[in-house]
């Protein structure tokens, strides 16, 4: 029998960092802006607030894993299904927090290209990370995970 060791995903945050860096490169080629004129003064506080909220969501997901005493890294085997904290409302609070922070930073920097790439980043994370994690969790926790999936949405 094959021992399941985890979904064996090594670089989920790299998709967010990579997408943002490609967006910044595109900004250097063809600069675009979220806003111009007087409204640009509002972007930094709005963007940094969103980034901080996204970080707080991600950190609360990490704290939930720690309080459940199970690894949070997607290359390590899960010892239990986490359904507390933000996992009561979203199955992916860390990825959702990353997306909110990504968008907030782009808004604070007043750059459009990273924002335009965010849906592609989210699709990539869904396709190549979350899909694998969900297959692993279903194989590991079976009916318990199926019931959780029916109760809690993937994003919000």
Residue 3 has which token pair?
Answer: 């021992």
pLDDT tens-place string over residues 18-51: 999 999 999 999 999 989 888 888 999 999 999 9
pLDDT tens-place string over residues 105-131: 999 999 999 999 999 999 999 998 899
Residue 77 has which token pair?
Answer: 């085997």
**Percent of the chain scoring above 70 in pLDDT:** 92
Instruction: Give the three-state DSSP class for 155.
Output: coil
Would the pTM of this model clear 0.85, i.e. be above it?
yes
Give which of 143, 135, 55 is closest to 99, Cα–Cα: 55
């Amino acid at each position: 029998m094959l021992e399941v060791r985890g979904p064996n995903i090594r670089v989920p945050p790299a998709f967010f960092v990579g997408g943002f860096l490609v967006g910044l490169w595109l900004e250097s080629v063809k600069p675009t802006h979220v806003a111009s004129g007087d409204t640009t003064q509002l972007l930094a506080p709005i963007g940094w607030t969103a980034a901080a909220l996204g970080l707080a969501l991600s950190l609360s997901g990490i704290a939930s894993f720690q309080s459940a005493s199970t690894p949070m890294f997607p290359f390590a085997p899960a010892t239990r299904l986490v359904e507390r904290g933000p996992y009561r409302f979203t199955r992916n609070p860390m990825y959702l927090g990353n997306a909110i922070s990504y968008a907030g930073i782009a808004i604070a920097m007043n750059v459009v290209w990273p924002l335009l790439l965010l849906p592609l980043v989210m699709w990539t994370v869904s396709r190549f990370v979350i899909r694998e994690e969900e297959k692993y969790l279903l194989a590991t926790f079976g009916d318990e995970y199926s019931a959780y999936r029916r109760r809690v949405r993937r994003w919000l």
